[in-house]
Amino acid sequence: MEQRRLQGSIQSRYISMSVWTSPRRLVELAGQSLLKDEALAIAALELLPRELFPPLFTAAFDGRHSQTLKAMVQAWPFTCLPLGVLMKGQQLHLETFKAVLDGLDVLLAQEVRPRRWKLEVLDLRKNSHQDFWTVWSGNRASLYSFPEPEAAQPMRKKRKVDGLSTEAEQPFTPIEVLVDLSLKEGACDELFSYLMEKVKRQKNVLHLCCKKLKIFAMPMQNIKMILKMVQLDSIEDLEVTCTWKLPTLAKFSPYLGQMINLRRLLLSHIHASSSISPEKEEQYIAQFTSQFLSLQCLQAVYVDSLFFLRGRLDQLLRHVMNPLETLSVTNCRLSEGDVMHLSQSPNVGQLSVLSLSGVMLTDVSPEPLQALLERASATLQDLDFDECGIMDDQLLVLLPSLSHCTQLTTLSFCGNPISISVLENLLHHLIGLSNLTHVLYPVPLESYEDVRGTLHLGRLAYLHARLKELLCELGRPSMVWLSANPCPHCGDRTFYDPEPILCPCFMPN
C-alpha cells in the first residue's frame, strides 16, 4: 500500500516526463516539488527511475538538502558520481559536502552492496564529465539512452563492472575519490581537511586517487603526510615547482618511485646544498635518478634549473625505460658529454617535442646536436633552441639535419647571435618542410648599432621585410616568421613583424 502511494506521488510529479515532449524546466520543477517533502523524496529513491537521479540530485545540491543528498549517494545508480562539476564556479557549502561524504560512510559500513547501488567512484575533479549534468534537456535524446559517466581510473587496474548489469548482491569493493591536488602553503581549506580525515579513517575502503598532482611551496612533512593517503599509482601528471635543495628531493624520491603510472613529470629549481659532502650528494642524486626505473609509462620529462644535471644527464636517461615523446631540459648547465649521451640515448628516437632553451651550447660541438636531430627527424614537431648561444658556424652544420625533420611545425631559436646571411640560408633549407608554419628567429646581428645591444629598428624592419619577401619568392608566404629578442632591461621578449611590439621599457613615460 505504501509502495503504491509512493509510486503515485512520483508519477504525479514526473508525469509526461518523456524527453521527447517535456522541457528541461519541467523536470527541474518536478524535482523541486518532490524535495519540498524531504522524507518522501528519500523514501521514493528506491522507486525513482535511474534517469531521474541526475536532475533530482542537482536540485538537492543547489537547494542544500543535506539529508536527501546523503540518501542519494547511497542509492546512486551509476558507477560514477561526478560531483566536481557541480562544485565548479561556486562556493561549496561545507554541510552539503559533508552530506555527500557521510552518504559514503553509510555505504561503506555495509558488508554487502545492495543490488541496485552501483557507486564505485566519487569524482571531485572540476574539469571532468563536463556534460553529465547538462545533457538532460527537453530536446535531447530519450531518457533511456542517458549516458553513464565513465568511472575514470587513469592507468589503474580497473574493475570491469557493467553499470546496468547483475541483480545479484556483490561483496563490497573500495570506493575511489578522484581529485586533482595542488599542494601549497595555506591551500588546505576546511573541505579538503574534512576529506582527508575521512580518507585517513577509512583508507582500506575509501581510496584517494589523483590523476594530476602539483606541488608548490609546502613543508616536506606536510607533503609526505598527504602522499601517504593518496593511491600513488593513480598519478599520471606530476609537477614539482619548488625551490628544493638536494636532500629534500631525496626525501621525496621514494614517493616518486611509487607513481608507476606516471606519464608526465615536471621538476624545477633544485639547488645545491653547501652542508653536504660530495659523497652524500652523489648518493642523493642516485637515489633520485634510480626512481625512473619504476616509471615505465613515462612519456614526457620537463626539467628546469637542476644544478646537478651537468655531467649526469646520462645517469638520468639510462634509467628511463621507454622512448620519450617530450624532452625539455631548460636553464641547466650541460657538458659536451651530456649532449653526446643525449644524441645516443635510445629514448630520443621518437621525440615530438625537444627543448634545450637556456642551455648554453656555444662551446659544444654541433655534431652531437646534428646526430640528435637526425635521430628524431621522423617524429619531431616542436623544436626550441632559444637562448642557447648557438653561433653561425654551429647553425650551418645543423641545417641539413633540420631539413630532414619532415614533421616539424614550430621552430624557435631566439636569442642566438645569428647573421642575416645564415638566416637566409636557414630559410632555404626549411622551405621544403610543408608542415612548418611558425619560425621564431633571433634579431639578426646586423640589426645592432653597437656591442651593448642597441637595436636599430629601421635596419631590423628592413631585414625582416627581406626575409618575408624571400618567403614569397619561394612560394611559402603563409609561413609565419617572427623575429624576437629579449629586452636588455627586463628580459621580456620583444617581437618584430616587421614593426616592434615593444615591452613597457621602451614606452615613453
Q: Tell me: do 132 and 220 sit in the same domain.
A: no
Structural domain tally of the chain? 3
Q: Quote the CA–CA distance of 389 and 362 in Å, as a whole number.
A: 5
The whole-number pLDDT of residue 164 equals 37
Q: Quote the CA–CA distance of 365 and 277 in Å, as a whole number.
A: 33
- Structural domain contains residue 488: yes
- Structural domain contains residue 377: yes
Question: How many beta carbons lie within 10 A of that of residue 475, not counting itself?
Answer: 9
- Structural domain contains residue 10: no
- Tens digit of pLDDT at every position of the chain (509 positions): 455 555 455 444 444 444 444 455 555 655 565 666 667 777 878 888 888 888 888 888 888 888 989 988 988 988 999 998 888 766 667 888 899 999 888 888 877 666 667 889 999 998 887 778 876 544 343 443 445 565 554 444 444 434 433 444 455 678 999 999 999 876 567 888 889 999 998 888 899 999 999 999 889 999 999 999 999 999 999 999 999 999 999 999 999 999 999 999 999 999 988 889 999 999 999 999 999 999 999 999 999 999 999 999 999 999 998 999 999 999 999 999 999 999 999 999 999 999 999 999 999 999 999 999 999 999 999 999 999 999 999 999 999 999 999 999 999 999 999 999 999 999 999 999 999 999 999 989 998 888 777 888 888 889 988 999 999 999 998 888 887 766 666 666 666 665 555 566 655 54
- Structural domain contains residue 226: yes
- Structural domain contains residue 414: yes
- Structural domain contains residue 417: yes
Show Cβ contacts of residue 39 under 8 Å, excluding neighbours closer than 6 positions. none
- Structural domain contains residue 145: no
Q: Tell me: do 339 and 488 sit in the same domain.
A: yes
Show Cβ contacts of residue 99 under 8 Å, excluding neighbours closer than 6 positions. 66, 67, 69, 70, 73
DSSP 363: T
Q: Tell me: do 328 and 315 sit in the same domain.
A: no
The whole-number pLDDT of residue 244 equals 94
Q: Tell me: do 416 and 443 sit in the same domain.
A: yes
Give the domain range for residue 431: 323-508
**Domain boundary pick from 137, 163, 195:** 137
Q: Quote the CA–CA distance of 393 and 366 in Å, as a whole number.
A: 9
In contact, 313 and 329? CB cutoff 8 Å: yes
Q: Tell me: do 335 and 370 sit in the same domain.
A: yes
Q: Quote the CA–CA distance of 184 and 414 in Å, as a whole number.
A: 34
Q: What is the pTM of this model?
A: 0.85
Q: Tell me: do 281 and 315 sit in the same domain.
A: yes
Within 258-348, where are the H helices? 278-289, 313-317, 336-344
**Domain boundary pick from 302, 319, 336:** 319
| CA 81 to chain centroid | 22
3-state secondary structure 63-128: CCCHHHHHHHHHHCCCCEECHHHHHCCCCCCHHHHHHHHHHHHHHHCCCEECCCCCCCEEECCCCC
CATH at 478: 3.80.10.10
The whole-number pLDDT of residue 358 equals 96
Q: Tell me: do 390 and 490 sit in the same domain.
A: yes
Q: Tell me: do 233 and 349 sit in the same domain.
A: no
The whole-number pLDDT of residue 48 equals 82
Q: Tell me: do 366 and 435 sit in the same domain.
A: yes
The whole-number pLDDT of residue 35 equals 67
Q: Tell me: do 427 and 504 sit in the same domain.
A: yes
Burial class (CB in 10 A: 0-12, 13-18, 19+), 278: exposed
Residue with cell 579513517: 201
- Structural domain contains residue 11: no
Q: At what angle do helices 94-108 and 190-201 cross, to 10 degrees?
A: 10
Q: Quote the CA–CA distance of 214 and 181 in Å, as a whole number.
A: 6
**Domain boundary pick from 319, 353, 368:** 319
Distances 58 to 20, 32, 129, 139 between C-alpha atoms, Å: 21, 10, 14, 19
> What's the grid cell of residue 67?
539529508
Query: Which residues pair with residue 215 across a beta bridge?
Result: 183, 240
Q: Tell me: do 355 and 254 sit in the same domain.
A: no
In contact, 231 and 157? CB cutoff 8 Å: no
Q: Tell me: do 420 and 295 sit in the same domain.
A: no
